[in-house]
Chains A and B, each alone.
Chain A
Amino acid sequence: MTDDVEPFYLPIGDEIEVFEAAYAARLPVLLKGPTGCGKTRFVEHMAWRIKRDLTTVACHEDLTATDLVGRYLLSGEETVWMDGPLTRAVRGGAICYLDEIVEARKDTTVIIHALTDHRRVLPVDKTAEMVSAHPNFLLVISYNPGYQSVLKDLKPSTRQRFVSLEFDYPSVDAEATIVAAETGVDADTAERLARIGEKTRQLRERGFEEGVSTRLLVYAGQLVGQGIAPRRACDAALVRAVSDDPDLQTAVADIVDVVFP
């Protein structure tokens, strides 16, 4: 749901303008990018900016179409229909953000098809209903092409229904600004954290596809802000989190060690 406080977001390119244009035309939006690079924050920021409610669904591999659309529940001695989060957003005119859509079961991608073209309807087969989308409704999905297994690739027929915005980790300077803004650590610490992020991402081909995300850097910064020494904070937030491979952990620990004075 929208908040009065502006969610911090540092634009890297023209993504805000493109999103606003897409919203104006009610075109569904696909956000593509590695984990923890700011996709969810971007949607929160945009919902705040265009003053719409936001319904976020974090998709997981057991998430079914029923979970999104709704189901009958037994209440007392009768069955009661309960709208799912997607149906509520469609009826109420919110922005519905399906985070990591390919994680969910395949039947979920089918039900969003009718919502993403000119029809803008949500078929609810269990109630034999075609729910027309509220004029303010917008569907946003995100997808991380990096670590998804081949079984979980987004089908072209789904992908081609969306306006695509590509995200990547920001530059060192931008990331330092983000870390400083999110955590309140001094500029020097933020810059060092950003540098660690940049360096570890150069190991993407070496066992961890993603590297250290901006989110993890923010975690480390928050620990530092709470008074934990920078090396210890990075050890807890970054080194242990990125990989289980001992060599990779050692290498990341070495990077942390040489970057902090």
Chain B
Amino acid sequence: MSSLSLPEVHGALSLFAEAIVGEPVSVEVAENAWPATPVANAVARIALPAEIDDLAPAAARRWFRAAALQQLVALEDRGDAAPVDLLALRRIHALLPETFVWLEDARIGALARRRYPGGRADLDALTLAGAAMSGSALGAAAEHALIRALRVRCLDGAMTAVASAALGAKLIAAIDDAIALVRQPGSDRETSLAAAAELLRSVAGLRVRIDEIADVDGDGPEVDDRRGAAMDSAATPDEFEDREGTSGGRPVDQDMTAERSTPDDDGDDDGEDEPLSGLMLPVGSRRASPDVRTYVYDEWDFRARSHRIAWCRVLEERLHGDDPSFIGDVRDRHRSLRAEIRRRFGRLRPEQLVRIPRSLDGEDLDLDAAIESIVDRRSGAPADERHHVRRDRAARDVATVFLVDLSASTSSPVAEPEKVPPPGIDPEDDPISYAPIWDPNLPPPEPPRRVIDVAKDAVALMSDALAELGDRHAIYGFSGSGRENVQVQVVKELADPVSPTTWSALDAMRPMRYTRMGPAIRHATSKLVGDAARTRLLVVISDGYPQDVDYGEDARDRAYGMNDTARALADAEAAGIDTFCLTIDPAGHDYLREMAPEQRYLVIDDVEALPAELAKVYLALAS
């Protein structure tokens, strides 16, 4: 027995979710352990536990999938319809949201079983587990008896005799009728709502008091037994109040209860509920990779005019992320630029045709071979049948490494263009019109774009376009602190195909520490030197001076780092690699002049121009 964590299955589950729903679905760690049907989510989002314990990996995976499926069918079924406003329901009746949510859960469960019969067994097992789960795990410390009964019946739990007697056969029958109704084929959200309203009406008819009952005990079939036994035997079936666990019978505020026990309502109902035992804290998007590879490189000391042998240690590791939807955002954000890049790349002439004489098949006869063939035949010698000339096109043979600076400074925000008010209006006059608009329905403002975000966009656009063009390329990020700790993160190696894994890894790039460029360039060079491509390119994208805690005798000494970087670039050129440095520097410092030949660098002062400039640079280098 072992455990399986959500990040391990996240990639495939996200794709599965998108396939089922038809749009990207955010797969998140559950705050509420029970996978209730998302009825009130404004965005396509499902919640799953962070980890499944005590199951074999295959079984745990099926558990994840079943938990996802139920929620996905709800999203699939919802289509373009707006999410249900549970608050509005609560204004109608305090118990309406919960009743509706549980009936929706029953309806979606039945729909999922009908639509995806292969998932039926897993869904049944999940329902069984839900029924056996403790009350606290279900997120309801306080719960009305009706809702409790509804939940037990929705999860196909048997009502105990005592509990049934306490609630009354009529109410149980009404609950079962409602569940049976919503489980029928053809039922929809309105059916659930109508059934919920009808159920509450019948409760009113039965004169069950709409009191909220605080209950700290767990629930489930056996627990239900105890509850039933502990119930006030004097209470009449249609007028009972569960006093267990309440001190002095203080009724819990109805509003609060309805809101708290509505799963997936707005996600802020955490903090009070105990998480399911065995769950881990939410897991971040990056996994620590166990396979860090170490490389050692020399460094150039321009003062001593010699190399410091084996001076720097490069730690290379694979970068893993879990959000391949990144590329979709990039494509949306740069729609016109992407089209432009595609158009320009379309003009990249494939390399020239080569004439291959003496072929079995081809456009023209190879006269020399034809004459020889005839001579051979006349002289009785066996004739060679290969007497055509064919023209083959050599495939594009380019390998490029994009080396992206991940230093801490890349986290600085990109200056946004100032908003200009319409002409003729003085913004000072009208603070309301030009002040930020506060609207609870508006999504929270986007975090400011940082230099690294633009760099990631630029590299993603390039990678996307190069994949179409068929040019091989690698993407590395680099940073680190100190000569012993130069970090190179591999998003994509030359041999890797461009895939969702590439996008999620690229998305996972984060600003780190310093910029020790020399060893990173040497590392990228060593990768390119080992490649057989005819054209080999190294493109360095950085945002400032080479800099590290010990890059030179003095941390303020820029000359050492610049000279080492220049040397590393020159070495790469000597090894037959074309290099190019693209630096984003709003101040437009021209220090690259000292590091690279003039046609081998570009300083960009407008960060947002990077994607377009990168494409231009590539076109110039690779054509």
Q: Which of B373, B378, B468 has a CB less than 8 Å from the CB of A150?
A: B468
Known: A74-B374, A202-B21, A251-B12. 16 other contacts (CB 8 A): A62-B392, A71-B388, A79-B370, A149-B469, A151-B346, A200-B19, A206-B18, A207-B500, A244-B497, A247-B501, A252-B19, A255-B16, A255-B20, A258-B65, A258-B118, A261-B117
Asked if B591 lies at the interface with its beta carbon under 8 angstroms from chain A, I say no
B19 lies within 8 A of A202 (CB): yes
**Closest B residue, CB atoms, query A195:** B115
Q: Which residues of B contact A77 (CB under 8 A)?
A: 374, 377-378
Check: A245 CB closer than 8 A to any chain B CB: yes
Query: What interface size band does chain B fall in?
Result: 35 or more
Q: How far is the CB of A250 from chain B (nearest CB, A)?
A: 4
Interface size of A by CB at 8 A reads 39
Q: Check A257–B118 contact: CB distance below 8 A.
A: yes
Chain A contacts of B370 at CB under 8 A?
74, 79
User: Nearest CB to that of B370 among chain A residues?
Assistant: A74
**Assembly CA distance A240 to B361 (angstroms):** 34
Q: B356-397 interface mask toward A, CB cutoff 8 Å, 1 = contact, 0 = none?
A: 000000111100001001100110000000011001110000
B11 contact from A72, A79, A205, A247, Cβ within 8 A: A247
CA distance A248 to B504 in the complex (A): 13
Near A by CB (< 8 A), chain B positions 66-82 give 69
A256 — which chain B residues lie within 8 A by C-beta?
118
Chain A residues with Cβ under 8 A from B497's Cβ?
A: 244-245
Q: CB distance A151 to B19 under 8 Å?
A: no
Q: Which of A170-224 contact B (CB under 8 A)?
A: 199-200, 202-203, 205-207
Chain B CB within 8 A of A254 CB: yes
Cross-chain contact of A250 among B12, B373, B470 (Cβ < 8 A) = B12
Do B500 and A248 touch (CB < 8 A)?
Answer: yes
Question: 5 A-B contacts, Cβ less than 8 Å apart?
Answer: A65-B363, A74-B374, A77-B377, A202-B23, A245-B497
Q: Shortest beta-carbon distance, B386 to chain A, in Å?
A: 11
Residue B119 interfacial (CB < 8 Å): yes
B467: min CB distance to chain A, Å:
9
| 0/1 string, A99-143, CB within 8 A of B gives 1 | 000000100000000000000000000000000000000000000
Residue of A nearest to B73 (CB): A258
A259 within 8 A of B: yes
Residues in A neighbouring B348, C-beta threshold 8 A: 151
In the complex the two chains form, what is the Cα distance from A74 to B116 in whole Å?
63
Q: How far apart sit A252 and B15, CA to CA, in the bound complex (Å)?
A: 8
CB distance from A84 to the nearest CB of B (A): 11
Asked whether, in the complex, the Cβ of B15 is within 8 Å of the Cβ of A206, the reply is yes
Q: Name the one of A74, A207, A259 contacting B365, with C-beta atoms under 8 angstroms.
A: A74
Known contacts being A247-B15, A258-B65, A258-B118, is A199 close to B20, with CB within 8 Å? yes
Contact between A260 and B117, CB atoms less than 8 A apart: yes
With a CB–CB cut-off of 8 A, which chain B residues contact A255?
A: 16, 19-20
For the complex, give the distance between the alpha carbons of A259 and B497 in Å.
Answer: 30
Q: How far is the CB of A191 from chain B (nearest CB, A)?
A: 11
A45 shortest CB reach to chain B, Å: 31
Check A254–B16 contact: CB distance below 8 A: yes
- Nearest chain A residue, comparing its CB with the CB of B20: A199
